[in-house]
Structure 1
Amino acid sequence: MLALTSIVRRNLRVLAHSIRPVVWIGTAGLSESVMNELDQALKSHELIKIRVADCNWEARDAMLAEICQKLGASPVRHIGRILVVYRPKEDEISGETTDKAKKDKAKRTR
């Protein structure tokens, strides 16, 4: 599981405020297909909201821990039935810059 500082977590909570849930977890819980959808969402968005169907708080907390452990992500927030999860892109973890980042840097220097 990825560790975040409190400042980074606070900034991610601010960013997550305006986004909508991209994955809904039903009463069946965390199936293999749900985990695949979560993985794909994290690959494309990095920061996602997840809405969980009827469960108690402890079950949702355990679900958040399992998602983060299996996908190598970090929990940002658990409020009500909404879970917020963050996983940086692979290039950012290894320290390599992506082509998009290079293009953005080139535009700023012009």
Structure 2
Amino acid sequence: MIELTSKQRKFLEKSAQPMSPLVLIGGAGVTEEQIKQIQAVIKIHELIKVKFNEFKDEKKELARAIEEKTDSTLVRIIGNVAIFYKEAEKMADRKFAKGLLKA
């Protein structure tokens, strides 16, 4: 997890706006299989959206659990969608590094 400034969060929120949620959390809650799926997807995309179809009252707790288990950063929860960011390991794969430095 990295600490983001408010400007960096705004930049990532803006970047995530046109994206569709790549992972849906349903009636089974957050399973180990979904954690693995989130880890795989965030490794490729760096910035992802996760939609909560169920557990809408518990989405903050579930989002924090996802953040810890995937070692990502929760950017923001908007409605029933959480935005997560995890910087790519290789510098060449980092899509948002320049924007985050400017923010």
Which of the five TM-score ranges fits, normalised by the shorter chain? 0.7 to 0.9
CA RMSD after TM alignment:
1.5
Residue matched to 2:25: 25
Separation in 2 of the partners of 1:62 and 1:45?
23
- What is the number of residues matched between the two proteins? 94
- Deviation for aligned residue 1:54: 2.2
Asked whether the 8 Å contact 1:2–1:72 carries over to 2, the reply is: no
Distance 1:54 1:25 in 2: 7
- Matched ranges for 1:64-79 at <5 A: 64-79=63-78
1:89 corresponds in structure 2 to 88
| Other-structure match for 1:4 | 4
CA distance in 2: counterparts of 1:5 and 1:72, whole angstroms: 18
Conservation of the 8 A alpha-carbon contact between 2:23 and 2:51: yes
> Which consecutive unaligned segments of at least 5 residues does structure 1 have?
92-96, 102-110
Structure 2 gap segments, 5+ residues each: 95-103
Letter of the structure 2 residue corresponding to residue 30 of structure 1: V
TM-score by length of 1: 0.79
Determine what percentage of the aligned residue pairs are the same residue: 30
Q: Say whether the 8 Å CA contact 2:73–2:86 is kept in structure 1.
A: yes
Higher relative contact order (CA closer than 8 Å, sequence separation 6+): 2
Equivalent residues of 2:56, 2:80 under 8 A apart: no
TM-score for the superposition, normalised by structure 2: 0.84
